[in-house]
Structure 1
Amino acid sequence: MSGKIVFFEGRNFQGRSYECADDCSEIASHLSRCSSCRVESGTFMVYEQPNYTGQQHLLTRGEYPEYQNTIGFNDCVQSCRIVPVHQGPFKMRIYERADFEGQTQDLTDDCDSIQDRHHMADVQSCNVTEGHWLMFEQPNYEGRMFYLKPGKYRNLREMSNDDTRFNSIRRITES
């Protein structure tokens, strides 16, 4: 894993800064607030709340002078995770119901509409065996997104803390 992100207290890269090359569960322990950032290398998931919770967004190399207009956050970034570069195949099995029950589908590529392509009304659990993925609440990779790294997810609704339905899935191929 190699990446570097620099957080700034003020908008437009102003004020004190904090450089990060790994996961950080609480940016507030380094800065009083975080209102802009610059991704110098790598790919990062940033979260609106500490401990990798709340609304999340994928950031690739570039400058983010303020979050409200660029990524849709109302306030500031509170935590971040580096997304490892994945080389090789991508594989995930999705399930219609929680606890790996109901209709299943194996995915190895992006899916812009789970309902249209796989005739599944909902996805409530999954097993990510290879690669890193983003699930979206709306078709065509729109709406809130949720980061999935390899592992078993028995109840995806617990991740969103509400009745979110997942309607599209995309592989994270940025590096």
Structure 2
Amino acid sequence: MHLSRCNSCRVDSGCFVVYDRPNFMGNQVFLKRGEYSDFQRMGSMMGMMGPAMMDSIRSCRMVPMHRGQFRMRIYERENFGGQSHELMDDCESLQDRYHMSDCQSCNVMDGHWLMFEQANYRGRMIYVRPGEYRSLREMGMMNQTRISSIRRIMEMC
């Protein structure tokens, strides 16, 4: 509450998503147990360049452990429009598996997921938990972000 900037942290247990803007908005990074000494360096290593680079933590959210199945329905367009597919496991390339060039909305029925802008779980990411997401663009990300791969959060958090 009294920090003006947070550039590093240590996770002793659990999993967290940290954000570069208040109120769980902006660029996100998934953290599990370990030390994170320099967010600027880490942002560069993850392929985040320019305005996407995370140089400070402004808010964070704990990711609860999920036991059970994972289910998510993804949609090509906002407001659950266009082509749709149901996922129950990781997808390293939406283009290769479903011939979908992007995912703009989704309904998460079970589990917690990470959605990435590039194939093979690279680039900027969005954390989604059970609920409806009519517009992934409105989650505090840059307008040009696209979703190209999706992974379940299965770590023992």
User: TM above 0.5, one fold?
Assistant: yes
Task: Render the CA deviation track for 1:86-141: whole Å, top value 9, x for unaligned.
Answer: 00000000011111111110000000000110111221111000000010000000
1:163 aligns with 2:135: no
Q: Is the 8 A contact 2:43 2:55 kept in 1?
A: no
Q: Which moved more, 1:134-143 or 1:64-73?
A: 64-73
For 1:65, the aligned partner's letter is S
* Sequence identity (%): 60
Q: Identify the structure with bigger relative contact order (alpha carbons < 8 Å, sequence gap 6+).
A: 2
Once residues 97 and 110 of structure 2 are traced to their aligned partners in structure 1, the CA distance between those partners, rounded to angstroms, is 21
1:74, distance to aligned residue in structure 2 (A)? 4.5
The count of aligned residue pairs is: 147
CA distance in 2, matches of 1:157, 1:69: 26
Of the three residues 65, 68, 72, the one matched with 1:92 is 72
The answer to whether residue 150 in structure 2 is matched with residue 173 in structure 1 is: no
What is the letter of the counterpart of residue 82 of structure 1? M
Alignment of 1:12-91 (within 5 A): 29-72=1-44, 73-91=53-71
Structure 1 Cα separation of the partners of residues 16 and 126 of structure 2? 13
Larger Rg: 1
> Counterpart amino acid of 2:149?
S
SS in structure 2 at match of 1:164: coil
Which whole-Å CA distance do the structure 1 matches of 2:107 and 2:76 have between them? 12
Equivalent residue for 1:142?
A: 122
For 2:145 and 2:54, how far apart are their aligned partners in 1? 20
Q: Is the 8 A contact 2:66 2:112 kept in 1?
A: yes
Measured after TM superposition, the shift of residue 67 of structure 1 is 1.2
CA distance in 2, matches of 1:35, 1:127: 33
AA at the equivalent of 2:40: Q
Structure 2 distance, partners of 1:121, 1:37, is 35
Distance 2:25 2:87 in 1: 26
Q: Distance in 2 between matches of 1:114 and 1:168?
A: 6
Provide the rounded CA distance (Å) in 1 between the counterparts of 2:33 and 2:39.
15
Amino acid aligned to 1:130: D
- Provide the rounded CA distance (Å) in 2 between the counterparts of 1:55 and 1:74: 7
Larger strand percent: 1
Secondary structure of 2:40 counterpart: helix
